[in-house]
Amino acid sequence: MPRCGIVTLAGPPNAGKSTLLNALVGEPLAIVSHKPQTTRVPVRGLLTDAETQIVFVDPAGLMDPAYPLQKGMRRAALEAVHDADVVVHVHPLAEAPAPRLEDLVGRLPAKVLLAYTKADVVPPETRPALAPGELAVSAESGEGIAELLAAIRGALPEGPFLYDADDVGTQPLRFFAAEFVREAVYAALEEELPYAVAVEIDEFREAEDPVYIRAVLAVERDSQKPIVLGKGGRTIRAIGTAARERIAAFLERRVYLDLWVTVWPRWRRDPAVLARLGLPLPPESQR
Ligand SMILES: Nc1nc2c(ncn2[C@@H]2O[C@H](COP(=O)(O)OP(=O)(O)OP(=O)(O)O)[C@@H](O)[C@H]2O)c(=O)[nH]1
Ligand SMILES: [Mg+2]
C-alpha cells in the first residue's frame, strides 16, 4: 500500500519554513525574504517517490493578527495545520526551546515533529541538547534534511497518491508568477511598504512567445505609488527585471512582464479583496 499525506510546516514568522519547503522538494517554489511575514497564501509542494507522496504545505507564520490581512493569513495557516496528517513544528535553533505548539494552534493534529531550523548559524559548542525525536536542520548546509524526510515518511498514513507523480506544485502558474513579483517587492522595498503591496495577475498569455504576463502591483495609498516606482521608474524596473528572471526560470520560457502600479485604498482591511487574493477572513471577523 502506498503512503500519502499532508505535511504542514508550522512556526513563527521568519523561522525558515519556505526555505525548508524548497529544500525538501528540491525546487525554489516558495518565495523567501529576510523580512518576516513573506508568505501569505499557503504554498504547496510535492515530493513523490515509488512508495510515498508527501504534500507539503507552507503557510504564513503563526502570530497574533493585528489587522484583517493578518487575520486571513492566520486563518489559512490554522486550516493548513488542522488539515495536516503530520505537522512539522519549525522553530529557529538559535531561539530554542520552541513554545508548545498547542499554545500556538489550539487543538493538535495527530502527529507532530519538531525541527529546529537554521542550525548552521549555531556553533556546535553552544547548541542546546535536543530531546529524542527533535531534529536540527539547515536548508543552508543540508544538515538534518534527510533525517527529517525519513521521520516524515515514517509518520505518513497509508493511502493512494493525491497528485500525479511528476508534479512538483499544485497551484496555477499565475499564482507563482504573482508570488515571484512579491518576492522582488520584498527585496526592493523597505520598512512597511512590502506589507502594503498586493500583486494580482490580470493577463497570462502562454500561447505567445515570449509568454505575456501583466501584473498589477497594488498599494494602499497614493503616497506609496511614487516610492514603488522610484526615481525615474528605477525601483519598478528593478522589481520587473528580478521578477521576470525568476518567472522565466520557473516556466523555462521567455517572459515579457508588464507591471502596473495602482492604488486599492486600504486593501489590507477589505474582506472582498482579501477573499479574492485567497485569504478569506474567519467568519467572526467579517463585517
Ligand atoms: N543561515 C540560514 N538562514 C536561513 C535558513 N533557512 C532560512 N534562512 C533565512 O531566514 C530568512 C527567512 O526565511 P523564510 O524561508 O522566508 O522564512 P519563513 O518562515 O517562510 O518566513 P515567513 O513566510 O515570513 O513566515 C531568510 O533570510 C532565509 O534566507 C538556514 O537554514 N540557514
Ligand atoms: Mg514563508
| 164 part of a folded domain | no
Could you identify the residue written with the cell 521521520?
151
| 229 part of a folded domain | yes
- Three-state secondary-structure class, residue 57: strand
Which atom of ligand 1 is nearest the CA belonging to 36? Answer: 24
Mutation test of ligand 1: which of 32, 57, 179 has the most ligand atoms closer than 8 Å to its C-beta? 32
Which of the residues in the chain have pLDDT under 50? Answer: none
How many structural domains does the chain have?
2
Distance CA 70, CA 27 (A): 27
What's residue 257's pLDDT? 98
Distance CA 155, CA 197 (A): 38
Q: Which ligand is nearest to the CA of 38?
A: 1
Torsional sign, CA 217, 41, 30, 51? negative
What's residue 271's pLDDT? 97
Answer yes or no: do 16 and 136 share one domain.
Answer: yes
Distance CA 91, CA 135 (A): 10
What's residue 286's pLDDT? 59
Mutation test of ligand 1: which of 9, 19, 44, 121 has the most ligand atoms closer than 8 Å to its C-beta? 19
Residue 123's domain comprises 3-155
Answer yes or no: do 49 and 146 share one domain.
Answer: yes
What's residue 205's pLDDT? 98
What is the pTM (predicted TM-score) of this model? Answer: 0.97
Q: Give, as residue ranges, everything with CB less than 5 Å from ion ligand 2.
A: 17-18, 38-39
DSSP string, 251-271: HTS-EEEEEEEEE-TTGGG-H
